[in-house]
Amino acid sequence: MSAAPPVLWSFRRCPFAIRARLALRAAGVAVELREVSLRAKPAELLEVSAKGTVPVLVLPATASGAGQVIDQSLAVMRWALEQHDPGDLLRHGQPALVEEMASLISTNDGPFKFHLDHFKYPERFPGSEPLRHRQQALEILHHWNARLAPWLLGDHPCLADLALLPFVRQFARVDPEAFQAEPGLEVLQTWLSRFLASEALAAVMTRRERWRSSRFLYHLALATDWQDAQLAGEYRRSTRGRSLEEVGFIHASQAHQIDATYQRFYADAGTVRLLTIDPQPLAAICRLEPAPGSGELFPHLFGPLPLTAVVGVEPYPAG
């Protein structure tokens, strides 16, 4: 019997998670990837890493206890490449190059990330001057441009290339035209373009169905019904076209039942929202009951759904 693979908690667009996935792919390490919403973090993620950020890699349990938890992206990258590093991304046995990589990554994770955030998300930083931060980030990019040949440490990629490129990608996406028009960045623009066109990036950016916790309940709602609930302060629809008063309870689903419920009842319903429900604050009784005909057990909530119990709302199906 083969051992269970490590579990990687991830969020597709997060640059820290992207670089971890790139290193795992480069090392050929298979993982169980759990794509999460950072707005509705599963309890299972918080139990292994209370800080609730991604990536988090959980190694399989051993005979001596629970598996090791690695919850820093660089540590995930190094762990993966220590298992197998066919491209010599870690530059084994070359301490001077290892020191250079560490310096590049430190600049990226410190000042460059600081200026990137203030440029990309000015609403998060009242009084911030996004254009000033853009210019300061560009100064760092010009420094990196000067050393590319065509990679940061020579003729083939290193750990620093994988660690920096997701953040440069994020910077360029804020204003693609201005980035491409920036003089003096031709080598760096080529470096980024090569990365954007790579099989590696395409592989790690494949869209995945969000991992859903078995500890939550789920309810598919028409977008208009959810809008009405927000105005009323509580949700009182049982299912499509029927109210709580008519049925006596609100239909819900377990994680593995969502898609079948959608296909059977909502596929032609137009705009649909998936509500993620934390059962802990529910005052009304909620119990599993068999569905007519199949006998499959579904959660039924015998009372209105308070908005405070809804920890996530998203379009369904996604994108």
- pLDDT, residue 63, reads 66
109 pLDDT exceeds 90?
yes
- The domain ranges of the chain are 7-83, 95-204, 217-315
Tokens found for residue 140: 């760092």
Domain range 95-204, CATH architecture: Up-down Bundle (1.20)
What's the pLDDT tens digit per position in 187-216?
Answer: 999 999 999 999 999 999 999 888 998 889
What's the pLDDT tens digit per position in 133-147?
Answer: 999 999 999 999 999
The answer to which of 12-26, 55-69, 295-309 has the lowest mean pLDDT is 55-69
What's the pLDDT tens digit per position in 214-229?
Answer: 889 999 999 999 999 9
CB atoms near residue 193 (< 10 Å): 12
Pick one of 3.40.50.1820, 3.40.50.2020, 3.20.20.140, 3.20.170.20 as the CATH number of 217-315. 3.20.170.20
Pick one of 3.40.1390.30, 3.30.499.10, 3.40.30.10, 3.20.20.150 as the CATH number of 7-83. 3.40.30.10
Q: What is the pTM of this model?
A: 0.86
DSSP 109: I
Distance, in Å, from the CA atom of 130 to the CA atom of 62, rounded to the nearest integer, reads: 48
3-state class (DSSP) for residue 168: helix
For the chain, the average pLDDT equals: 95
- pLDDT, residue 114, reads 98
Asked if 33 and 208 count as a contact pair (C-beta separation under 8 A), the reply is yes
Which runs of E-coded beta strand occur in 152-195?
none
41 pLDDT exceeds 90?
no
- pLDDT, residue 124, reads 96
